[in-house]
Amino acid sequence: MNRSVLTVVAGCAVLAMAAWLLAMGLTGGPEDYVERYAGQSVTARDEASAVPVKPSAPGPSSSPSSPESGQAAAPAPASEPPPRSAIPDNEFGELVRQGERIFADTGRFAGDWVGNDLSCQNCHFDAGRYDKTASLRSAWPMYPAYRSKNQHVNDFAERLQGCFTYSMNGKAPPRDGQVIQALQAYSFWLAKGMPTGEAPDVRGYPDVGDPPEPPSFARGETVFQENCALCHGEDGQGRKATGGGTGFPPLWGPRSYNWGAGMHRINTAAAFIKAAMPLGKPDLTDQQAWDVALFINSHERPQDPRFTGSVQDTAERFHQHQGQYGKTVNGQVLGEHSPPSGTVP
């Protein structure tokens, strides 16, 4: 190989790195997670879990350092969670395994606290390992953190409790009980090698981009019939497997997530759908993802657990974000005919 070829190769490498840094800057890098999932309103940062940070270059572990400077880089975060086979055979390992079981089949292993037909992994794939669907290892190092949803600093245990109250339409298990302890041990174990307090590159659901046109219920219905009904059913109520086992989860109705859950927000659902649905072949356009997110979230589901007795009042207090609660769809005010929340066995 001659010198000029080497120069070109080296030049390309430098350019590629510069382009990457620029891209991180433009998309806001990892830190703009907060902004992205905050919805339009700054006061309603439901899922935001940290004080807003200005979009900036990535943290120290990936800061620009020219190869020649010889500067030792901080150890890179683990690129994958540890394999299942690495769970140790001791008491700690048993708690980790129990955490995974609860996460994967919540109704069966933590049924006392679950009020619908969902499991944690329906929204956090591969038992919380998949990076594109809000993985546990990306969440663990970021708590305790302030959450505007309840306006105080939440530790990880409280964050987990919130999932039971809203996404699982259930009741919060006690923070020192086995369920929360097992889920914490499991998350801690998955997060091995993730730097504490440093926003991971991938966290939450990936950004979906603004819809070219305002989301439409009618277009969303078409997207649903063509891309979702096969699995989730024409009526959105999911399907059971042959023999009654876990099939496809319900998207609305009394056995799905309630009006307080993050997934009822159009922007959050659009991000999830764009990244992960249809299962195994997520190929919708941004517009389709927003349209169908609006459609599935324009149906009744269990009441917001913070319900004050009036839909209008509840909407004003807790729904200053991109959601349909309290809005009129097909002549009905969503929330007025909601089945009760927290219907644990």
Partner 1 sequence: MARWLVILGLCLLFPTAFAQQSPGGAPAAAGSCVACHGPEGQGSGAYPHLVGLGEAYIRRQLDAFASGERANAIMKPIASGLSESQRQAVAVYFSGLSPVPADAAAGAPPDGPGRTLALHGRWQQDLPACVQCHGPGGQGIGEDFPPLAGQPAAYLEDQLKAWRAGNRPAGPQGLMGHIAERLDEDDLKAVAAYFAALPAAGEAGDD
Binding site for partner 1 (CB under 8 A): 80, 84, 125-127, 129-130, 132, 227, 230-231, 239-243, 245-248, 278-281
Tokens of 19: 């382009």
Q: What is d(CA 40, CA 132) in angstroms, rounded to the nearest whole number? A: 22
Place of tokens 């305790």: 144
**Which 8-state DSSP code applies to residue 76?**
P
Q: What is d(CA 325, CA 343) in angstroms, rounded to the nearest whole number? A: 20
Count CB neighbours of 230 within 10 A: 12
In the complex, the smallest distance separating the C-beta of residue 128 from partner 1, rounded to whole angstroms, is: 11
Q: What is d(CA 261, CA 162) in angstroms, rounded to the nearest whole number? A: 9
The phi and psi torsions of 242 (rounded to 5 degrees) equal -60, 125
The contacts of residue 197 (CB under 8 Å, 6+ apart) are 141, 142
In the complex, the smallest distance separating the C-beta of residue 93 from ligand HEC, rounded to whole angstroms, is: 19
Nearest partner of 343 among 176, 117, 130, 140, judged by Cα: 117
Q: Tell me which amino acid residue 165 is.
A: T
Would you count residue 24 as binding ligand HEC (CB under 6 A)? Answer: no
Q: Which does 124 bind (CB under 5 to 8 A by kind): ligand HEC, partner 1, none?
A: ligand HEC
In the complex, the smallest distance separating the C-beta of residue 183 from partner 1, rounded to whole angstroms, is: 18
Would you count residue 227 as binding ligand HEC (CB under 6 A)? Answer: yes
Out of 139, 294, 315, 334, name the contact with ligand HEC by CB under 6 A: 139
- Closer to partner 1 by CB, 9 or 279: give it: 279
Q: What is d(CA 44, CA 319) in angstroms, rounded to the nearest whole number? A: 8
- Site residues (CB under 6 A) for ligand HEC, limited to 241-300: 248-251, 256-257, 261-263, 268-269, 273, 277-280, 284, 292, 296
Would you count residue 318 as binding ligand HEC (CB under 6 A)? Answer: no
Place of tokens 């433009």: 26
What is the CA 85 to chain-centroid distance, rounded? 26
- Closer to ligand HEC by CB, 21 or 344: give it: 344
Q: Draw the binding track, 25-64, toward ligand HEC (x: CB under 6 A; -: no contact).
A: ------------x---------x-x---------------
The contacts of residue 329 (CB under 8 Å, 6+ apart) are 217, 298
Q: Tell me which amino acid residue 208 is.
A: V
Residue range at the interface with ligand HEC (CB under 6 A); choices 24-32, 68-76, 138-146, 316-324: 138-146
In the complex, the smallest distance separating the C-beta of residue 277 from partner 1, rounded to whole angstroms, is: 11
Q: How many residues bind ligand HEC (CB under 6 A)?
A: 50
In the complex, the smallest distance separating the C-beta of residue 89 from partner 1, rounded to whole angstroms, is: 16
- Closer to partner 1 by CB, 68 or 283: give it: 283
Half-sphere exposure of 278 (CA within 13 A, CB side): 12
Q: Which residues are near ligand HEC by CB under 6 A? A: 37, 47, 49, 103, 106, 118, 120-125, 134, 138-139, 142, 159-160, 163-164, 167-168, 183, 203-205, 227-228, 230-232, 248-251, 256-257, 261-263, 268-269, 273, 277-280, 284, 292, 296
